[in-house]
Chain A
Amino acid sequence: MEKRSLPYLLLLPATLFLCVFFIYPFLLVAWQAVSQDGALTLEHFRTMAGHWKFPTAFWNTMLLALAVVPVQLALALFMATLVTRMEKGRDLVLYIWTIPLGISDLAAGIIWLAIFEQTGFLNSMLVGLGAVEQPVAWLGYQNKGTIFLAVVLAEIWRATAIVLVILVAGMGLIPKEYHEAAEVFGASPWKRFTRITVPLLRPSIQTALILRTILAFEVFAVVIALAGTNFPVLMGETYHWQFNLQDRHVAAAYALVILAISIAFTLVFLRTLRVPREAQI
């Protein structure tokens, strides 16, 4: 009896909270996407999909997420593993690596713009070293490649710490004996990593991937700062329709698209990285 009701009891506060502060306003907004003057319509989705920028914004968002998230996961796993091999100064190194966590996306955009703009730090260094004669317009509209690269770098810098913290917290729970035993049996470090660390870390990897991917689909401030109008993303278009074009219906439609792709990817991660009970220690 207790066992049956206990989980619901534990979920109750969070559920009630979310119903009031998320589900209720969400339903109001979602209704705007599918209605016009009280009647159901798909018109707003048609307007959205018919706008010439929509496909670009959609694929840009996808592309950026696909370029950033895997690198961040790999980098964070690598960083976390490095830390486990440290004996001294672990605290300090971990602290340094989590610093970007405290930096808002607006501030990150400012910092990276100072690096990449034409009179920025990167050009200052290149000119100083004599590598280039004239400052290069890295963020110029013809240099779509460098714009994309700059955004990717800034995002990797800014948000890898999120993944790192989640993984590090998870790694702390992996019993040392497993590694020691594997070492005794002569397993190589790579084998230990793939056969012990990664499987045991699966819940944390799943969590990190889900959260990071969802955030990646909402990327906005850094892109605006570095790419200006050159790299439209879904979140930017949502904002634009809501506040500049003042069409709440189409903005809500955009928001639902972001929600839909986020949920789709979440489901994929939940399935493929399923945490079977027997895999738990």
Chain B
Amino acid sequence: MRARKAWVAATLLTTVAFGGTTAAHADILFWSTQAAPVEETQAMREQVLSGFDEPIDYQATDDRGPWLTRIEAELEAGSGTIGVLGALHGEFVSLADNLVDLSDIDLGDVTLNATFKELGTLGTGEQKYLPWMQATYIMAANRQALDHLPEGADINALTYDELVEWAGVLAEETGSPKFGFPAGPQGLKHRFFQGYLYPSYTDSVVTKFRSAEAEEGWNKFKELWQHTNPSSTSYGFMQEPLLTGEVWVAWDHTARLADAFNQRPEDFVAFPAPAGPTGRGFMPVIAGMAIPQTAPDMEASKSLIAYMLRPEAQIATLRATNFFPVVETDLPEDMPASVRMSGEAIARMSDAENANPSLLPIGLGEYNGKFNQVYVDAFERIVLAGQDVRTVLDDQAETLRSVMEESGAPCWAPDEPSDGACPVE
């Protein structure tokens, strides 16, 4: 009797399970690695995408695993449901061969940032992705920390030496290290070394990887680490330790600081990244939109991308995600605190006399991850494992050289342009 009941149940379940698919209607699937925190996903759906004529299924995952697995599976199977891909510059790199040329999308009177548009070609002749939104990394501090600022130091024109001193004073006067750094598994630490430390100390990212100047930079960072909260190795987003007060001064992605600025704008300040001997290095974050060859409805996908680049949509995106527009537009007055605060810091940073902006790597292809790993490994070996700086740099330089040679990627700013693969001196 019981067995029969189970079978009936099984048949029922099966029918329902299959029945579900026929009823599902095909929305445009926007498969994204951005705006993954649940509130941002929700805001993207309700405030940005709801304005488009057709229903859109916005799915975001911060974990690159499912994102990559799904798109790779669709490409391999030769058919798919993903209409538009949303991801960071670096995440598109390995997919370039399977992305549709977007140069024929009609953007109307919208003016795209030319530098970012150029990045979207991924070094090919085609427009592999169109820029979607931008951000960068800045510093944030609890106002209490300002009382401990070393004499003569201007928070808006800080140097690494002053930052180290400040962190030291803070640790001493409060009894525990108050500088925080996102060195956890989800933290963006590699960007600090690529876009901030190296340009500030060597005016280079690749070429002078193992130079004496680089050694100096690493030693400075080791000094800073002495006064860094040891929990940093599990931090992903600095906004949380800032809010809890575990950390008073931090470096991170603007979107990963936003919650602190929005929840308690009076308690925090945003300010530019520090400068080193070769300037104030900093780096943009570019997210883009692309269409895979397997997209079910090419036209719908293209018009969605055009919609996302309209100024209204760009401003709605800024509110939803704390990523800034990539098109020319004026921001309204009533933006959230995080936008105002980080916007000012970014302007100070890029307008600084000694500003030294980096571009994003182009042409690394499938080696993008391994390129980042060189910097992460250097950090873990030098700073966490306490290995000899010179030995580690020589060692990692070999890996870097083989990554550059195997991928054939040419140099990008601040390195001097190269013919062929970017050399490691």
Contacts and interface: CB of A to CB of B under 8 A. Distances in A.
- Physical contact A–B (CB less than 8 Å): yes
A274 to B, nearest CB: 33
A227 B370 CA distance: 23
Interface string B190-213: 000000000000000000000000
B372 A244 contact: yes
A228 B233 contact: yes
B332 interface: no
Contacts, number: 79
Interface stretch (A92-100, A140-148, A168-176, A258-266): A140-148
B183 interface: yes
B231 A140 contact: yes
Interface in B377-399: 377, 380-381, 384
A139 B244 CA distance: 16
Given A119-B244, A229-B184, A229-B380, A244 B231 contact: no
Q: Give the size range of B's interface with the partner.
A: 20 to 34
Contacts of B369: 244-247
Contacts of B381: 52
A118 B185 contact: no
A260 B296 CA distance: 41
Nearest to B373: A245
Nearest to A142: B230
A247 B68 CA distance: 12
Interface in B207-246: 229-235, 241, 244-246
Interface string B355-371: 00000000000101110
Task: Decide if the interface of chain A is mainly helix, strand, loop or mixed.
Answer: loop
Given A52-B377, A52-B381, A244 B64 contact: yes
Interface residues of A, number: 29
B232 A141 contact: yes
Contact of A230 (B176, B229, B233, B372): B233
A141 B379 CA distance: 13
Interface of B: 63-65, 68-69, 94, 175-176, 183-185, 229-235, 241, 244-246, 366, 368-370, 372-373, 377, 380-381, 384
Interface of A: 52, 113, 117-119, 133-135, 137, 139-143, 224-230, 236, 239, 242-247
14 contacts: A118-B246, A119-B245, A140-B229, A140-B230, A142-B230, A225-B234, A228-B185, A229-B184, A229-B233, A229-B380, A243-B65, A243-B69, A245-B370, A245-B373
